[in-house]
Amino acid sequence: MSTIKTRPLTAEAFAPFGDVLEAVGKPDKIINNGFCGRYHDRATLDFGPQGRAGISVFKAQPRTLPYSLDLMERHPDGCQSFIPMSLDAYLVTVAEDDNGTPKNIRAFIAGAGQGINYHRNTWHGVLTPLSAPGLFTVVDRIGNTPNLEEYWFKTPHVVE
pLDDT for residue 106 is more than 90: yes
Q: Quick: pLDDT tens for 10-44.
A: 999 999 999 999 999 999 999 999 999 999 999 99
Q: Is the peptide bond before 146 cis (omega within 30 degrees of 0)?
A: no
CA proximity to 131, closest of 115, 106, 112, 107: 112
Mean pLDDT calculated for residue range 89-110: 98
Instruction: Identify the pLDDT of residue 146.
Output: 86
Would you tell me how many other CB atoms lie within 10 Å of the CB of residue 22? 18
Terminal Cα-to-Cα distance of the chain (whole angstroms):
13
Quote the mean pLDDT of the chain.
97
pLDDT at residue 112 in the model: 94
Segments making up each domain of the chain, as ranges: 3-159
Cβ atoms of 117 and 79 within 8 Å: the answer is yes
- Is the per-residue pLDDT at 62 higher than 80? yes
**Which CATH superfamily, name and number, covers 3-159?**
Ureidoglycolate hydrolase (2.60.120.480)
Percent over 90 (pLDDT), the chain: 96
Residue 1 clears pLDDT 90, i.e. is over it: no
Q: Which pLDDT belongs to residue 11?
A: 97
Q: What share of the chain is helix, strand, coil (3-state, %, to 5)?
A: 0, 50, 50
